[in-house]
Structure 1
């Protein structure tokens, strides 16, 4: 019994330190990354400021930088001298399938962490809180949800937002014509060109699209939200506890540190590439609490 107890104590100590116990083999994503000497990041091309292409068509952004920090942590955890960071573009529709089938290891964009998605993928600690609203041209006089009655509304395919507006349309019998767009840029263009009266999406993404438009003063974002506050998180494969532990530790350390606040300010309160737009979104009290107490909860009440 003494020998057995000693072994159990050693195993518990090894797990507590985050290091694999002697003889314990790597599994899941950690094994995949070590065997390949590479980790693959899924990025978005137009989710400003989270993950998008700069003037040189290179991925940049707030969530993208977080993923690079995570990649560094994975490299250190695996004690690799070299580890390639591969990049793979994703869309709202492809991001979950590409995580699930192993094409990408981290999805770095503007993905809402909710109970439905947690059935298909895992999330690390929340890096942003948003809510669903709509953008419209000011001259249309649209501000409240009921103002959309009988209007043509667009939202991005594969998002929680298009599901929410469809549910609201049915519940309130608003008679909206709801159109799917392949990405945020196409959806905003539909409002810009008059093919849609409003674009329903996460408010921070709408703010970035307005700030980057030709005539920012021509648009308004609804004062009424179509959802409760929702958490964004970096997505990873489901049921891969060892990899999630490394990612959670890395993101928690970043968010609690001065570097985490500086990273937020860089992308939300300062001019960002390629056009030097400024979203002017200082960290909210809820975000400050989320950074001080990192959580991967999908429940808006947790924030």
Structure 2
């Protein structure tokens, strides 16, 4: 169930998204579905990023950085080659997990350089590129809470980032298991994680890779732990693209497939998950998953 605080937060988030959608629709006329044609005409590409999705998409020295950002930069190089535009302008547009679908639907961005974890409901709102990461859903808690399973949190509050697939997942788990969880929403990973560090709330549900990143950046890392219990199977994450543009989807997937089969992709993966990375020279030590290894070596088309 939601408490008044949860309802207030949810209402505020919903109102903000409606306002954003209205402003975008007024400021940006309807575009054709041909993204490559739009890019060629404007000689520019608009890419979405987040500042709280370490190590995929975050700010380092006030510039977008991360695993997703590096992949998007490779896509930009491919667009330059295909359209023969040497001086293609790149516009970086700040987004959030909740607003990314509004931005892509209204053609404010051409690609969201954010790890969009897949669900059928999300696929109705935007197209997905080939996946480039797989991760299970888990929760982080303080070690002194002695919380091993989601059932241990029954009757307590649990925090989830708004606009993510974890909201639907935890609602389903709550309903099926009759856990009486009080599900609270926040719209920023860093703010939500601070509530767990301080002990204000007992647990945060998110992707395992995000949780590892947040703990690695924390000054209280030794006091925190990720649940052994997984709340989902490995979920694929892709880049969001506009719906109903098969030419752009095919081009982008072909570009990513070529990247996957090159040494560049291995170097990009190792840079962000098996080497010290800024801002604190942290090595997350996350080996490439079995699912991702299978994908990049497969000759069969990937189907979500």
TM-score by length of 2: 0.87
State yes or no: 1:169 paired with 2:174: yes
Give the corresponding residue for 1:220: 225
Structure 1, unaligned runs of 5 or more? 1-25, 299-303
Q: Which moved more, 1:111-120 or 1:211-220?
A: 111-120
| Residue 246 of structure 1: how far off its partner (Å) | 1.3
State whether residues 45 and 89 of structure 2, in contact with CA within 8 Å, keep that contact through their aligned partners in structure 1.
yes
Distance 2:303 2:96 in 1: 23
Give the corresponding residue for 2:143: 138
| Residue 284 of structure 1: how far off its partner (Å) | 2.0
SS at match of 2:117: coil
Say if 1:182 and 1:293 are closer, same or farther in 2 by CA, change over 3 A.
same
Query: Deviation per CA, 1:253-303, whole angstroms, max 9, x where unpaired?
Result: 1111111111101100111111111111011222211221275533xxxxx
**Pairwise mapping of residues 193-208 of structure 1 onto structure 2 (< 5 A)?**
193-208=198-213
Query: Deviation per CA, 1:23-75, whole angstroms, max 9, x where unpaired?
Result: xxx96101110111100010010101100011x12110000110111111111
Structure 2, unaligned runs of 5 or more? 1-31
Residue of 275, 278, 281 corresponding to 1:270 = 275
Count of aligned pairs between the two proteins: 272
Residue of 92, 95, 100 corresponding to 1:95 = 100
State whether residues 77 and 246 of structure 1, in contact with CA within 8 Å, keep that contact through their aligned partners in structure 2.
no
Distance 2:148 2:48 in 1: 34
SS at match of 1:233: strand
Give the corresponding residue for 2:266: 261
Distance 2:156 2:270 in 1: 37
| Residue 117 of structure 1: how far off its partner (Å) | 1.3
SS at match of 2:116: coil
Distance 1:281 1:212 in 2: 15
SS at match of 2:121: helix
Distance 1:262 1:271 in 2: 13
Distance 2:136 2:199 in 1: 24
Give the corresponding residue for 1:77: 82
Say if 1:262 and 1:81 are closer, same or farther in 2 by CA, change over 3 A.
closer
Say if 1:118 and 1:296 are closer, same or farther in 2 by CA, change over 3 A.
farther
Backbone CA RMSD of aligned residues: 1.3
Rg larger for: 1
**Pairwise mapping of residues 47-196 of structure 1 onto structure 2 (< 5 A)?**
47-54=53-60, 56-196=61-201
State whether residues 156 and 187 of structure 1, in contact with CA within 8 Å, keep that contact through their aligned partners in structure 2.
yes
SS at match of 1:109: strand
State whether residues 142 and 199 of structure 2, in contact with CA within 8 Å, keep that contact through their aligned partners in structure 1.
no
Distance 1:296 1:285 in 2: 15
Give the corresponding residue for 1:16: none
Give the corresponding residue for 1:247: 252
